[in-house]
């Protein structure tokens, strides 16, 4: 008899633990992708609706974030833009390092490049943001200090 639905001392089944882990992984990927998109979109001094819509369409078409709706993407993008105003570019770039060397890094870079081209004008600030994103995603992760 299979014990995959057996509950542990905390009353949580293995299936529930896996579902929570997958949800957390999807949330982390959404945060990273949208952070990179917002970083590039705002690199020329302002993010316009074309860039926000391009991010939502690109990610919806990609399918890696299947449980996430277009409205969720737009909300997350707007939230990241507001967060960037307060925390700055370096904080956003540093947050991408946790995805360095992992499979989602390609999706993050592809999304950032798509956003940079969305308005038909490649600003030097967007080029700088793309270089920073690529560097952060190819760099080894820093050890965590306890």
pLDDT of 73 strictly over 60: yes
Mean of the pLDDT values across residues 63-72? 76
pLDDT per residue as tens digits for the range 6-65: 555 566 676 655 555 455 556 778 888 999 999 999 998 888 889 989 988 888 887 777
pTM over 0.85: no
pLDDT confidence tier of residue 143, bands split at 50, 70 and 90: very low
Residue 99 DSSP class: G
CATH fold for domain 14-138: TerB-like (1.10.3680)
pLDDT of 142 strictly over 50: no
Look at residue 125 in the predicted model and tell me its pLDDT.
93
Domain boundaries, the chain: 14-138
Contacts 24+ apart (CB under 8 A), 66-71: 67/26, 68/26, 68/30
Look at residue 48 in the predicted model and tell me its pLDDT.
86
């Amino acid at each position: 008899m299979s014990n995959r639905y057996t509950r542990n001392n905390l009353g949580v089944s293995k299936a529930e633990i896996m579902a929570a882990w997958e949800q957390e992984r999807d949330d982390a990927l959404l945060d990273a992708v949208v952070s990179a998109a917002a970083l590039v979109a705002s690199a020329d001094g302002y993010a316009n609706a074309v860039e926000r819509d391009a991010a939502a369409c690109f990610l919806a078409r990609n399918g890696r974030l299947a449980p996430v709706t277009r409205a969720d993407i737009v909300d997350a993008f707007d939230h990241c833009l507001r967060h960037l105003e307060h925390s700055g570019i370096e904080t956003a770039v540093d947050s991408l390092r946790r995805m360095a060397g992992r499979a989602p890094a390609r999706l993050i870079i592809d999304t950032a490049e798509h956003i940079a081209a969305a308005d038909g004008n490649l600003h030097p600030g967007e080029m700088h943001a793309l270089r920073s994103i690529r560097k952060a995603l190819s760099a080894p992760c820093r050890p965590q200090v306890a």
